[in-house]
Structure 1
């Protein structure tokens, strides 16, 4: 009788691991029950996030395996879009090469520049810091600032760059900067770097402001001897969330470049010299309305962004080691 009661009591208890601790699902259930009010408050955001972010991505991935022109019902074609994209679409390969070159150069430079300028400005007094933050952040929030660069790199003798080079005798006739594939991608990189001190820059300044100052005192006791050691062992590890956020922003901006390219080099650009993955996506998605093929392009771009973010996340975990 006692043995039966023991079995009954044991059966009513939660499932436990061999060490006598509750299982993962039991802990998960307890956490949900304990924090149910938090989940209720989060539910409107999560609903909107899944409805307008996760669900469209899943739909796009599905359409990438179909032939869909928005007029007829989607026709399943399997891997045909990806095969055409990687083996038969020379324009896409040009856009892929330009995007990779653009992101490899501008991504790290803009990321480091955002942190370095934020680090230097953070050392100023509050009033000067606020003014300098506005000065550096202003280009990224301005409206159509591309006309400034169009004047600088205008293809006639009235362009600032042509006029300057002709005046000092380096060239003797104007150069069509934004119509020559030899120069246009480099100019677009320069403009993108000029615009790159945006959200990441502000996130880094905010992260630097939240670093606990007592950590520097503790670090000096533990053997931290100079500013570079403070930066590596104290400052950077203390602002990992801001570093990750800035990395996501910069990776997205460098891989999804399109506005600068179309504003300066036109759409399509001469000999596709400034063609990118996003401009190729715009071509098939908003002009030709080949949504299945456009979805395949978007999926490739999404995979590049996801892989880059995962790689950067692993690298940031090594900061301070």
Structure 2
């Protein structure tokens, strides 16, 4: 009987078999996270989208088409929450990113001593508990808190500011709290990028007579443009999802003056008579806002090429 020639030596045949086993093992490793992400991430997203087309109290839900989405435009509480959230977004995000960039440039100076200490101190708020630091801010900015006492002792104000109960100052308190916590987080991105910039670029600019101001706007900003775009997008998404600070510092008050969209979703689900269908609709309004703002930011700040 003639033997069938495969054209492969025994060593090559074993190598091919081992390669297939390695590929199979790799796919098995990939399959586990894909299944987990699908079950715990994509499946809830799809279910929430389906839920947004239903209405009813508790578990007694029925399809109503786009009624929930039409309801958004006449819901005064939702519109107030959107207005408050965009006030935080328009004021806090630019202030935080400019401050983070300024601090990163200072900490990147080779002549600065104790850089490790300063970097750790500025980044430390990022790892603090959201609830814990919010409660601390609530007491610090209370009518009898340390902030008012310090301002009175310094003769900067004659009477305590109602940081928590006044609509304007309550928003200011929320903005200060968010800025305090997340400035260090964005500063790390800028600092790591600055450390990868070739020092010879700044040396050449200095020899050509460029001032520090010119170097910052003509060299630093253009080189950090991708990171600035990234931090702008992530900060926008985070602000649109703002929840912990509002709930723990002001509880959305006074009179919904500080309520965010995420807090309104929570109230619809757990504080008011449960309306999960409409809560899902409000949730997807955040998705739409994120998509629109991300596209705008990519268009404005992205690479034109």
- Pairwise same-fold verdict (TM > 0.5): yes
Contact 2:226 2:302 in 1 (8 A): no
Task: Extract unaligned runs of 5+ from structure 2.
Answer: 1-22
Deviations 1:93-138 (A, max 9, x none): 1111111111100011112211221122112469732221111111
CA distance in 2, matches of 1:212, 1:55: 46
| Alpha carbons of structure 1 residues 38 and 202: separation in structure 2 relative to 1, 3 Å | farther
Contact 1:204 1:246 in 2 (8 A): no
Aligned to 1:5: none
Aligned to 1:3: none
TM-score, length-scaled by structure 2: 0.77
Aligned to 2:55: 67
Aligned to 1:85: 72
Aligned to 1:117: 103
| Alpha carbons of structure 1 residues 118 and 71: separation in structure 2 relative to 1, 3 Å | same
| Alpha carbons of structure 1 residues 172 and 215: separation in structure 2 relative to 1, 3 Å | closer
**Which secondary structure does the structure 1 equivalent of 2:210 belong to?**
coil
**Aligned residue pairs: how many?**
280
Deviations 1:207-257 (A, max 9, x none): 222224455567789x79344554445444444443333223211222222
Question: Which of these residues, 166, 174, 186, is aligned with residue 180 of structure 1?
Answer: 166
**Which secondary structure does the structure 1 equivalent of 2:197 belong to?**
coil
| Alpha carbons of structure 1 residues 100 and 121: separation in structure 2 relative to 1, 3 Å | same
CA distance in 2, matches of 1:127, 1:43: 49
In the alignment, structure 1 residue 300 sits paired with structure 2 residue 285: yes
| Alpha carbons of structure 1 residues 176 and 314: separation in structure 2 relative to 1, 3 Å | same
CA distance in 1, matches of 2:286, 2:268: 14
In the alignment, structure 1 residue 153 sits paired with structure 2 residue 138: no
CA distance in 2, matches of 1:169, 1:126: 34
CA distance in 1, matches of 2:37, 2:199: 36
Shift in Å at residue 317 of structure 1?
A: 2.2
TM-score, length-scaled by structure 1: 0.74
| Alpha carbons of structure 1 residues 54 and 238: separation in structure 2 relative to 1, 3 Å | farther
